Amino acid sequence: MIIEEGLKLHVEKRSPSQEEYRSLRGQSDWYTVGNQFEKAAFGKEVHCVVVLDGPNVIGMGRVVGDGAIYFTIQDLMVHPNYNNKTVGRLIMDHIENFFETGASRHAYIGVLATRETRELYKKYGFTERKTKNSEMFKIVIRGNSTH
């Protein structure tokens, strides 16, 4: 994947700290969750990656679920200064790699998409459901796999 020239991005498989999460949410213009809910939520995901430019977290993506059959992609965020620089695709590539080995053959993977993110998710095989929330889903079906 080609990242914009001059960017020195790297991906870490980990949850963001509460400070990193709060900062990214605020810069991405997402609503405030609240300290107690951040503490309750983080550390329980089945997979999480953060993207850093030097020491700064500029993107993240979490996968929550039962760890085998049902998954939801949550909190896929990219700092506004890095929009349209393939950071979202970098995050999704890592999430998709996790699903290749961490999801059952017939896993259900959901995501709530915005108008801005629909096309990204479609590139990864998600299909829109005709609901008010623009819910998208994907069912992973692999041949003769034991997963």
pLDDT in tens, 7-23: 689 999 999 988 898 88
Per-residue DSSP letters for 74-126?
A: EEEEE-GGGTTTTHHHHHHHHHHHHHHHHS-TT-EEEEEPPTTTHHHHHHTT-
Stated pTM of the model: 0.81
Neighbouring C-beta atoms of residue 71, cutoff 10 Å = 27
Structure confidence by residue, pLDDT tens digits, 89-102: 999 999 999 999 99
Residue 134: CB partners within 8 Å, gap ≥ 6?
112, 113, 114, 115, 118, 128
Stronger pLDDT, 23 or 61, i.e. the higher one: 61
